[in-house]
Chain A
């Protein structure tokens, strides 16, 4: 039971990360492989602001989010420029690997390769007792945050004009442009929000882990696999895949050592990608193709 709850909480963090990838992919048809690194930059900015320089915590979160979002917008701008100059589908992907390398080098250079940092606990210590075990507040807080953000995004997409315009742009960019919608601006907005989600997910993840160079990679690999399983598109499929992955992870945790757990979890993902490489809910996306 506890494992189930913890699993769903962990899964929600992966889901949030994957959701960001999907938002960007919907907006620009592009998978940003530097997604997690951009989120990590935000986390480091938050650490610098709040942990090292002892400035206000909430403001630090805002700063981290905005910096991450702006990194996304900057790269999104380049991706849009590339697609205008018809560089082929591979060029932006390759570029995102370049950005990954560069950002990683910057974070390692500025904040050190091995120094582990600890984020302040946002949701307090302690936890809720379920049976004879404890579910920490940090997990429950993560789940609550993810649900709140997800619900807010869903409502925004459905009921606000900007949300509907964004959906129109995603469905048919040219036609949206012809309807007077500033599609470029909206695409950059999707980069800002989507990449910003990477920061949110990273902060939640680091509630229970040390921050060090590359420590985001473990999350990211699973996240990309989850996003791929969901065809990079379907928010529902992301939620399902992330929850399942989190639960599997939490159960594995009971029977394996740390690295053994990751090996098995990754093996599961590899096999899943192998069996359904085109994603779980591809039938639905083909209907609209």
Chain B
């Protein structure tokens, strides 16, 4: 799964970090249903935000439509989830993928502000349609009754947590696999300099469509999980505000970094849990988003990575073994 070359093995380090963190999460939430739900919420956000990073971090476009793709995925899967949970997830992913394509189509011809505006209009249109068509339960919403998936009971918070964490791991693995492949590299190249990428035989149209579609797939699956975790589905869950939160996670956590979206999602979920729910909560998220865009354009993840690496190096130095240094390098390769 990794590209071995001249001793740099990227990815295995990340996988180790992700596996350890997830193990701690899963064990720590045993017989604490509330905590399990909180961590599951984090995982859902992180899945969607990781998908959004294909657009924001790689293509360098702004989309505020992940909430729309989430809604499409959630509504596509909610009927099936009680009896055929696996099919429900396939449906949610497929619907999300299609939604991603629709979101991404204008990206073939415009970029920047115009694209951001288009996604903005789209997210509101989806919200309105869902709210005004009775089939979707209207603005009042409807309850989601979840069945079981792979022998795990989706209604049990602990089982659900395992599924959410598993899917998050899959999302990060996909991200990391793509990042090192010629496919992912050409996507990033299109985002950074489409003209030059084109003159190296990369078709920017195909690249943009695929990145948006994949982003939509992540959002679709995430949307269905979101509804299951909440046990409830209503159009006003999938607002523009939710999209901006997703954007905040990617930017604050670190766009283009495999763990950036997860770091951002964790920060925002922890923040929302620590503070009592008031109307003022979003002030801090909004201002942090502003400051991150201003002063830390690459986000927190690279900084955290540096700190962790330095810590590990220091520890290995104290232990008097240089062997650790090699291991540390495995996790590196992000910013330098």
Determine if A102 and B293 form an interchain contact, defined as CB atoms under 8 angstroms apart: no
List the A residue with the shortest CB-CB distance to B139: A259
Contacting residue for A89 out of B112, B131, B294, CB 8 A? B112
Identify 12 new A-B residue pairs, CB closer than 8 A, beyond the known A31-B117, A279-B114.
A31-B116, A33-B120, A95-B294, A97-B244, A98-B288, A101-B282, A101-B289, A102-B282, A109-B279, A259-B132, A260-B132, A270-B122
With a CB–CB cut-off of 8 A, which chain B residues contact A98? 244, 248, 285-293
Give 5 pairs: A residue, B residue, CB < 8 Å, sorted on A.
Answer: A82-B294, A109-B279, A228-B113, A273-B121, A279-B114
Which residue of the partner chain, among B109, B280, B293, contacts A95 with CB atoms under 8 Å?
Answer: B293
Q: Judge whether A82 and B106 touch: CB under 8 Å.
A: no
Cα–Cα, bound, A90→B279 (Å): 28
Contact B241 A273 (CB under 8 A): no
Contact between A277 and B122, CB atoms less than 8 A apart: no
Contact flag A95-B290 (CB < 8 Å), given A31-B116, A106-B280, A217-B240:
yes
Q: What are the 8 A-B residue pairs with the smallest beta carbon separation, nearest first?
A: A102-B286, A98-B289, A101-B286, A105-B282, A98-B290, A259-B132, A109-B279, A31-B113
Q: Quick check: B289 and A266 within 8 Å, CB to CB?
A: no
Main secondary structure of the interface of A (DSSP, over half): helix
Distance of B119 from chain A, by nearest CB (Å): 10
Question: Quick check: is A209 within 8 A (CB to CB) of the other chain?
Answer: no
Contact B294 A274 (CB under 8 A): no
B residues in contact with A260, CB < 8 Å: 132
A94 / chain B contacts, CB cutoff of 8 Å:
62, 247, 251, 289, 292-293
Contact of B114 among A78, A89, A228, A263 (CB under 8 A): A228
Q: For the complex, give the distance between the alpha carbons of A274 and B124 in Å.
A: 16
Contact in complex: B294, A78 (CB < 8 Å): yes
Once the chains are docked, how many angstroms separate the CA of A82 from the CA of B293? Answer: 9
Task: Give the residues in chain B near A25, CB-CB below 8 Å.
Answer: 113
Whether A266 contacts B109 by the Cβ 8 Å rule is no
Q: Is residue B60 contacting chain A, with contact meaning CB distance below 8 A?
A: yes
Cα(A59)–Cα(B62), bound, Å? 39
A262 CB contact (under 8 Å) in B118, B128, B278: B128
Q: Is the interface of B mostly helix, strand, loop or mixed?
A: helix
Interface residues on B, range: 35 or more
Contact size range, A: 35 or more
CA distance A88 to B62 in the complex (A): 13
Query: Of residues 216 to 244 in A, which have CB atoms within 8 Å of B's CB atoms?
Result: 217-218, 221-222, 224-225, 227-228, 231-232
Using a CB–CB cutoff of 8 Å, the interface residues on chain A facing chain B are: 25, 31, 33, 78, 81-82, 85, 87-95, 97-106, 108-109, 113, 217-218, 221-222, 224-225, 227-228, 231-232, 259-260, 262-263, 266-267, 269-270, 273-274, 277-279
Min CB gap A73→B, angstroms = 16
Most buried by A among B125, B287, B290, B294: B290
Instruction: State the CA gap A282–B114 with chains docked (Å).
Output: 13
Alpha-carbon distance between A113 and B279 when the two chains are bound, in angstroms? 8
User: Which residue of the partner chain, among B118, B131, B282, B283, contacts A273 with CB atoms under 8 Å?
Assistant: B118
Q: Tell me, yes or no, whether B261 is within 8 Å of chain A by CB.
A: no
Q: Are A105 and B283 in contact (CB under 8 A)?
A: yes
Q: Which one of B113, B128, B293, B294 lies within 8 Å of A263 (CB-CB)?
A: B128
In the bound assembly, the distance between CA atoms of A113 and B281 in angstroms comes to 13
B112: A residues at CB distance < 8 A: 89, 93
Contact among A93, A109, A218 for B280, CB-based, below 8 A: A109
- Cβ 8 A contact of B241, one of A88, A99, A101, A228: A101
Residues of B close to A278: CB separation below 8 A:
109-110, 114
- Which residue of A is nearest B108, CB measured? A277
List residues of chain B with CB within 8 A of the CB of A113.
Answer: 279
| Set of chain A residues within 8 Å of B251, measured between Cβ atoms | 94
User: Chain A contacts of B117 at CB under 8 A?
Assistant: 31, 224-225, 227-228, 273
Say whether B289 contacts A93, CB under 8 Å. no
B276: min CB distance to chain A, Å:
13
Q: Is B109 in contact with A277, judged by CB distance below 8 angstroms?
A: yes
- Rounded to whole angstroms, the CA-CA distance of A84 and B128 in the bound complex is 40
Q: How far, in angstroms, from A262 to B291 measured CA to CA in the complex?
A: 35
| B229 interface residue (CB < 8 Å to A) | no
